[in-house]
Amino acid sequence: MKFKFHYAWVILFITFLTILAVQGIRLSFGAFIEPWEKDFNMDRGTISLISTLSFIVYGLSQPLIGKLVDRLGVRVILSFSTLLVGISILLCNWATSPWQLFILYGIIVSLGVGGASNVAASVAVTNWFTRKRGLAFGIMEAGFGAGQLILVPASLFLISMYDWQMTVISLGVFLMLFVFPIGLLFLRNKPADKNLKPIGGNHFDEEKEDQHSLEKSKPSFWPILKKRHFWFLLLPFFICGYTTTGLMDTHLIPFAQLCGFTPTEIGTAVSLLAAFNIIGTLISGVIADKWSNRKFLTYLYIGRTLTLILLAIFISNLEFLTFFVNNPSLLIIFAISFGVVDFATVAPTQMLATQFFNRQLLGLMLGWLFFSHQLGSALGAYLPGLLFNITGNYNMAFYSAIILLIGAALMCVMLPEPEKVKREPNLSTNQITS
């Protein structure tokens, strides 16, 4: 049989590359904390405010980015957001005071990162993949882990070999002269732009929906706010952000340092977490194509809960903590197990969003989803630090995450299956668009 290559894979590669580059640079923020402390005479609390501001701006941008994707298309949003991040990261080289970093990184970089994020990339995958959509979501999401695995160590290396100024110049030039032109030249919004159909062809329901959108007025977002499946998808994703990007990505390293693990042990654990994050997202994408995403999401939140319960047991008393620190393999086991269920929740969440909601509202809906995720991330970055200042440990932070994850699993249990939602007369396209 003759193999026929489909342009959808080019689209997927470019979205993967864009996510890797832009989000990898965002995840490299921790590498700049120490040099910025020295050069700008800032304390760690002030620098942390830059990160918190970044999360908030990123989150607030998501619904707006979703609307812009629906209007302008994936190509414009992904490519020019990448360019904006490249220019603003490069301009950080000439920053001479903290307020300039707050504006350049906390606001402008974060707006660009918000554009080159899951929202636009997810719309691209939805447009180009009818079959193998879950796999495509998994590959796209693996870009986050790949960026963390490649660009965070690369940033640390460049800072140690040269300085942070040379590092931001290198990162900015990489985005402006390599990633941006590739996106602008090769990205396409829809298969029709290349006289193609998506992989798997147009789904019958989606064909009807596209035809209906041409005949009727633009669909309304407000009736969806009354639907259970909107909130039971949104709130668990908020908790997802709290427990992953917020809690673990921000506080795992200082927690491990507080316990007494060596830098080598900590570095190994963080690298393995990122590596198994990639593996988990890829496996998640494959499963999302073949099984109930509602059930799959429930089990993922239960799995994440169990990993944190294991960690909470280790820190529950001095004897267990001593055993934990004296056996660094336990930290490695935790990092691997948490990595597998870290970003794995994203693919089934995105799949459910594409199945629940009108395609004409998909960008906006994904914008609200990732807005909630980033708000959770901001809270997860701030609250554990506040609790640490009060109690002197991370116990309360982990306990709060466990309670929230149990709630997320219960909400996923109460989600309806997408087929049931489509059969409900009050959720028909006619009524949503009225």
Taking only the tens place, the pLDDT of each residue in 160-216 is 888 999 999 999 999 999 999 999 999 999 898 888 888 887 754 454 545 444 444
- Residue 87 has a pLDDT of 96
Average pLDDT over the chain reads 84
- Residue 219 has a pLDDT of 54
Q: pTM of this prediction?
A: 0.75
Maximum mean pLDDT: which of 58-62, 183-187, 290-294, 367-371 = 183-187
Q: Is the pLDDT of residue 255 over 70?
A: yes
The answer to whether 359 and 108 have CB atoms below 8 angstroms apart is no
The helix (run of H) or strand (run of E) holding residue 111 is helix 110-115
Burial of 231 (0-12, 13-18, 19+ CB in 10 A): middle
Taking only the tens place, the pLDDT of each residue in 322-378 is 898 899 999 999 999 999 998 889 889 888 887 877 666 677 777 888 889 888 988
Which residue is it, tokens 């965070």?
Answer: 152
Q: Is the pLDDT of residue 263 over 80?
A: no
Average pLDDT over residues 428-433: 38
- Residue 271 has a pLDDT of 83
Tell me the C-alpha distance between 86 and 168, whole Å.
9
Average pLDDT over residues 372-386: 84
pLDDT > 90 fraction of the chain, expressed in percent and rounded:
32
The answer to whether 401 and 268 have CB atoms below 8 angstroms apart is no
Taking only the tens place, the pLDDT of each residue in 305-328 is 999 999 999 988 888 888 988 999
Q: Is the pLDDT of residue 88 over 90?
A: yes
Taking only the tens place, the pLDDT of each residue in 2-19 is 557 889 999 999 999 999
User: Which residues belong to CATH 1.20.1250.20 in the chain?
Assistant: 8-202, 217-434
- Residue 412 has a pLDDT of 92
Which residue is it, tokens 């994707």?
Answer: 69
Give the least confident one: 40-44, 222-226, 381-385, 419-423. Answer: 419-423
Label residue 221 by pLDDT band (50, 70, 90).
Answer: low
Average pLDDT over residues 63-72: 86
- Residue 264 has a pLDDT of 81
Better-scored residue on pLDDT, 401 or 378: 401
Q: Which two tokens stand for residue 122?
A: 């997810």
| Size of the chain, expressed as the number of residues it contains | 434
Label residue 141 by pLDDT band (50, 70, 90).
Answer: confident
Q: Which two tokens stand for residue 431?
A: 């009524």
| Residue 327, φ and ψ in degrees, nearest 5 | -130, 80
* CATH (residue range 8-202): 1.20.1250.20
SS3 312: helix
Burial of 243 (0-12, 13-18, 19+ CB in 10 A): buried
Which residue is it, tokens 């490249």?
Answer: 86
Tell me the C-alpha distance between 358 and 371, whole Å.
19
| Residue 188, φ and ψ in degrees, nearest 5 | -135, 145
Average pLDDT over residues 112-131: 88
Q: Is the pLDDT of residue 128 over 50?
A: yes
Tell me the C-alpha distance between 388 and 391, whole Å.
5
Tell me the C-alpha distance between 89 and 104, whole Å.
7
Which residue is it, tokens 């620190």?
Answer: 325
Q: Is the pLDDT of residue 433 over 60?
A: no
Class level of CATH domain 217-434: mainly alpha
- Torsion sign (Cα): 150, 238, 68, 113: negative
- Residue 28 has a pLDDT of 82
Residue 195 is given by DSSP the state T
Residue 314 is given by DSSP the state H
SS3 97: coil
